[in-house]
Amino acid sequence: MAIKQKRFMLAESDIPTRWYNIQAEMLNKPAPMLNPKTKEPVTVEELSKLISLQAARQELNFTDAWIDIPEPVLDMYRYYRSTPLVRAYGLEKALGTPAHIYFKNESASPIGSHKLNSALPQAYYCKEEGATNITTETGAGQWGCALSYASKVFGLECAVYQVKISYEQKPYRRSVMQAFGAQVTPSPSMSTRAGKDILTKYPNHQGSLGTAISEAVELALTTPGCKYSLGSVMSHVSLHQTIIGLEAELQMQMAGEYPDVVIGCFGGGSNFSGIAFPFMRHNIAGERATRFVAAEPESCPKLTRGKFCYDFGDESGYTPLMPMYSLGHNFKPANIHAGGLRYHGAGVVVSQLLKDKLMEAVDVSQLSSFEAGLLFAKSEGIVPAPESCHAIAAAIEEAKQCIPTGEEKVILFCLSGHGLMDMSAYDQFISGSLGNYTISDADIMKNVANL
Amino acid sequence: MAIKQKRFMLAESDIPTRWYNIQAEMLNKPAPMLNPKTKEPVTVEELSKLISLQAARQELNFTDAWIDIPEPVLDMYRYYRSTPLVRAYGLEKALGTPAHIYFKNESASPIGSHKLNSALPQAYYCKEEGATNITTETGAGQWGCALSYASKVFGLECAVYQVKISYEQKPYRRSVMQAFGAQVTPSPSMSTRAGKDILTKYPNHQGSLGTAISEAVELALTTPGCKYSLGSVMSHVSLHQTIIGLEAELQMQMAGEYPDVVIGCFGGGSNFSGIAFPFMRHNIAGERATRFVAAEPESCPKLTRGKFCYDFGDESGYTPLMPMYSLGHNFKPANIHAGGLRYHGAGVVVSQLLKDKLMEAVDVSQLSSFEAGLLFAKSEGIVPAPESCHAIAAAIEEAKQCIPTGEEKVILFCLSGHGLMDMSAYDQFISGSLGNYTISDADIMKNVANL
């Protein structure tokens, strides 16, 4: 029996030392983010009141395509990077597809997801600039775990607002954050004005990334020495996550292939951007015609059914106005287990790229996502995060199309994290007690009517 | 800031293709296992009624120091091996020690522990020899998860008896086994004669590896086409796990160091043997004087306080009589969270090695183990399994001894698995509600009196 290479790892010396900033090479730049009071474009100075100055500069950097990764961050990357690129022979066999399926295994990070890639630089910049505290929101808890650990690494105190439904669905993620020394509060909470306002209006509000962002932003703006940090949506987060795709490109070279289609699940855009942008630069340069597919939940369909408009990034309207596909900042996502995808909007860069047809989007039902995830677990031995299940479902759909045609399509997707702390969701799926959620066009229209 | 290499990975072509069989090179061979009825040495034929013929041959192989890893097993190893060897700079800094601490990160396997290394060959051999079903016991569930997945890989049906206390403490591990398609039963159960007998005598029995082994063995012996598989204790399991230490030796060469002390936690011996034996062969050959330390729970101290004698491997006396350090096969371990260490005996090889002073043993209290694990989590970003916390505690103890002396001792330990499914135990530790368990000399004496 011939041994086929399944796992591709980079030598430490080959790990990229720069991030790729797609903003510098986009032909159509995104419209500017606006200060909601003045309606003027947001400046680095304004942004840096909330986030670190370096992150603010990166957010508005439309000129430099490559940004050096700071040495202390690289030093930490080298603890767990490269993550493996894996040829999913087991999944191919289970599907009976001639397609070549690869996944970039970000679940192999110590935290269990890709989120550490941006948590480390964000915490580092805050510390370098003199902050003592950092605060953020988290959905499923992947980002909260990453920032809790990154804060510990660089010596910051960390406070996390976790979406209430996830706090209750995934208690172990809260435990991990606490093990790393973070303070964790379910959101909406009574600890902020934003939280109080939301709870007054909707006493049973289950929380969303939008509510948790409002609370974290308020804490940062009202606490001296405290900076806010975001795990997705913003361009500097996508920038940091490009380490995923930059590695994957080198690893695909090792495998002797180039992807025909690149797939990521989609909440705010961080892992999708991370895997996609480094490959997309070759499309922008006219060298390749790769397809890029963002897989979002059927119940939170901002890319497939949202409105392209200016909207806030949070429920209470603390953030700048951003030009993006949105379901409305007051949208209350259904209680799906993919907590990291329960967000009303998409980052400005991804929104522009989708508008310009440089990428596509598909929606996946909760049941389809778990069906795909379970097949992946059985064939590859890794239980995927409910978020990642959406990317797997989209990859399987692409691979199935090759069965009648015989096409050896090269499919690459990002396994953004493992689902070992989401087993109650799998239990429900296996026992048949999990359902689908949809949203009517009328409800979407109502939500975005005033945007 | 200079970048120090932290993680050492082997190229796929450097992954060892043979296991190391220490039995062939031990100067004092272990006394034979005995058939409890005839009191004659157990034969390959007898053993192969229970386990696969290949595993039985390996169990009693005292001549071949190197055993080829079958190609289909190597093929699967290459999905996740090498695991990383990591220099724990973060832990060193937190301790303020001049020691060089390395850990072999077996938590990076898809299953989250080292157990897959033996599950794959055992399932493969059973399938090759015509079995359709496989059954086993599991404590914390690491072994059960590994065998459930390995069974799926090679096309076997899998039934797992999980120690009842762990089944309740760690419900997510049961979910993972079920996600892989295994049937999971808490032990002692009413589904076997052994289980019924135990429950009749002790209606509130919380289970132990000894009870679960009895049930699985009975199922295998009474079911056509069904083989039994064990996750630790036996020599062929230790053999398979030597892939850990063989890789670590090559990776330590990459780091330019050789360990002064090698440490593993100790339940039945599988991860300790795996990390230790490949280094120990240089001690046997007189080339090195490395120390080997097995870290066991204070509440289950067979190595530090047990009796060297012939005893059964299971509660009901189905297994051969083995010459080993034991607390008595009726010993009921305290309900510590390190479920994988709740076993009354030690493998025959480790027992002989300890008797011959080729290795040492230390005991660690439950609270000390979690204190060590939490410090490791904060400094290295990986939440360790409660079992692994024992190895970490022993490594920290070694590293602390270097603080007054300034010795740059090279310490290597095996991180046998992650603790992401043991977060309730960490919650209890952090909240102060976790306790220690001890056992009196009188109780030990009583248990081993008739052996």
Q: What is the pLDDT of residues B200-228, one digit of tens each?
A: 999 999 998 888 999 999 999 999 999 99
The model's confidence at residue A1, banded by pLDDT at 50, 70 and 90, is very low
* Contacts across the A-B interface (CB distance below 8 Å): 128
Cβ within 8 Å, pair A110-B171:
no
Q: What number is the ipTM of this complex?
A: 0.91
Q: CB within 8 A of A60, min separation 6: which ones?
A: A42, A43, A44, A47
CB atoms inside a 10 Å sphere around CB B438: 12
pLDDT given at position A208: 85
Q: Do B381 and A175 touch (CB under 8 A)?
A: no
pLDDT at A3: 57
Q: Does B182 touch chain A (CB under 8 A)?
A: no
Cα-Cα-Cα-Cα torsion A144, A145, A146, A152, nearest 10 degrees, comes to 100
Average pLDDT on A1-25 reads: 89
Q: In this structure, what DSSP letter does residue A286 have?
A: T
Nearest CB to B110: which of A80, A175, A381?
A: A381
Give the Cα separation of A319 and A221 in Å (integer): 11
Task: Name every chain B residue with its beta carbon within 8 A of the beta carbon of A74.
Answer: 3
Q: Please judge whether A179 and B423 are an interchain contact, meaning their C-beta atoms are less than 8 angstroms apart.
A: yes
Q: Is B149 on the interface with A (CB under 8 A)?
A: yes
pLDDT at position B3: 57
CA-nearest of A319, A282, A268 to A118 is A268
Q: How confident is the model at residue B1 (pLDDT cuts 50, 70, 90)?
A: very low
CB contact under 8 A, A178 and B153: no
Structure tokens at B51: 């386990």
**The pairing of beta strand B85-87 with beta strand B7-8:** antiparallel
Among A3, A110, A153, the residue with its CB nearest the CB of B71 is A3
- In chain B, % of residues over pLDDT 90: 90
Test A383 with B7 for CB contact under 8 angstroms: no
Which of A75, A85, A174 is most worth mutating to test chain B (most B CB atoms within 10 A of its CB)? Answer: A75
Spatial distance between the Cα atoms of A256 and A37, rounded to a whole number of angstroms: 52
Question: Cβ–Cβ of B153/A90 closer than 8 Å?
Answer: yes
Among positive and negative, which fits the CA dihedral A308, A313, A318, A321?
A: negative
Q: How far is A78 from chain B (nearest CA, A)?
A: 7
Range A441-449 contact pairs with CB under 8 angstroms and sequence separation of 24 or more: A441/A305, A444/A301, A444/A305, A444/A306, A444/A307, A444/A327, A444/A328, A447/A327, A447/A328, A447/A330, A447/A331, A448/A306, A448/A307, A448/A309, A448/A311, A448/A326, A448/A327, A448/A328
Sorted by sequence, the CB contacts under 8 Å of residue B206 that are 6+ apart come out as B163, B164, B165, B332, B335
Distance from CA of B151 to the nearest CA of A (A): 10
pTM for this model (two decimals)? 0.94
CATH 3.40.50.620, domain A113-234, yes or no: no
Give the span between the Cα atoms of B399 and B366, in whole angstroms: 20
Percent of chain A with pLDDT over 70: 99
Specify the pLDDT at position B170.
82
Residues 390-429 of B with CB under 8 A from A: 420-421, 423-424, 426-427
pLDDT tens digits, one per residue of B149-200: 999 999 999 999 999 988 988 889 999 999 999 999 999 999 999 999 999 9
Question: Alpha helix locations (H) across B226-310?
Answer: 235-255, 270-284, 302-305
Instruction: Render pLDDT for B54-111 as a digit per residue (tens, 0 to 9).
Output: 999 999 999 999 999 999 999 999 999 999 999 999 999 999 999 999 999 999 999 9
Q: List % helix, strand, coil for chain B (3-state, nearest 5).
A: 45, 20, 35
Look-up: residue for tokens 């508008």? A355
Q: Mapped to the 3 state alphabet, what secondary structure does B99-150 carry?
A: CEEEEEEHHHCCCCECCHHHHHHHHHHHHHCCCCEEEEEECCCHHHHHHHHH
* Fold adopted by B75-110+236-448: Rossmann fold (3.40.50)
Q: Which residues of A touch B78 (CB under 8 A)?
A: 3, 5-7
Segment A66-118, tens digit of pLDDT: 999 999 999 999 999 999 999 999 999 999 999 999 999 999 999 999 999 99
Q: Is the pLDDT of residue A2 over 70?
A: no
Q: Find, among B294, B252, B298, B250, the residue nearest to B270 by Cα.
A: B294
Going from N- to C-terminal start, the domains of chain B cover 75-110+236-448, 113-234
Tell me whether domains B75-110+236-448 and B113-234 share a fold: yes
